[in-house]
Amino acid sequence: MTALKNPLSLHHLTVKEIPPAELVTIAAALGCPQIGVFVTGPGRATDAYKMIQDEPTKREVLARMADTGVTVHNLEVFALRAKTNVEADFRRHLEMGAALGAKRATVQKYDEDASRALDNFRALCALGDEYGIAMHIEFTGFQLLKTPAQTLAFLDEAGIANATVAVDFLHVYRTGGTPADVAAIPPHRIGYIQINDGLIRDADFDSYLDEALEDRLIPGTGAFDLPALIAAMPGDVTIDVECPSRRLINEGKTPLERARIAVEASKKFLGSRV
Question: Is residue 2 predicted with pLDDT exceeding 50?
Answer: no
How large a percentage of the chain has pLDDT more than 90?
90
DSSP summary character for residue 139: P
Mean pLDDT of the 237-262 span: 98
**Which is higher by pLDDT, 94 or 3?**
94
Average pLDDT over residues 12-33: 97
Q: Tell me the average pLDDT across 77-96.
A: 97
Lowest mean pLDDT among 40-44, 95-99, 121-125: 40-44
Percent of the chain with pLDDT over 70: 95
Q: Report, as an integer, the average pLDDT of 244-263.
A: 98
- Provide the pLDDT for residue 1: 36
SS3 135: strand
CA distance linking residue 182 with residue 225, whole number of Å = 12
Domains and their CATH numbers in the chain: 8-273 (3.20.20.150)
More confident residue, 39 or 2: 39
| CB of 40 closer than 8 Å to CB of 93 | yes
Whole-Å CA distances, 213 to 14, 82, 186, 189: 9, 23, 28, 25
Q: Which of 64, 58, 81, 54 is nearest to 22 (CA)?
A: 64
**CA dist., res. 73 & res. 50, Å (int):** 17
Q: Model confidence over 175-233: pLDDT tens digits? A: 999 999 999 999 999 999 999 999 998 666 678 999 999 999 999 999 999 999 999 99
- What is the Cα–Cα distance from 115 to 121, expressed in whole angstroms? 10
**Beta-carbon count within 10 A of 21 CB:** 18
Please give the model's pTM, rounded to 2 decimal places: 0.95
* Cα separation, 217 vs 242, whole angstroms: 10
In this predicted model, what pLDDT tens digit does every residue of 44-55 receive, in sequence order?
A: 556 678 999 999
User: What is the number of alpha carbons within 13 Å of residue 205 lying toward its C-beta?
Assistant: 20
Q: How far apart are CA 59 and CA 55, in angstroms?
A: 6
End-to-end Cα spacing for the chain = 16
pLDDT for 49 = 83
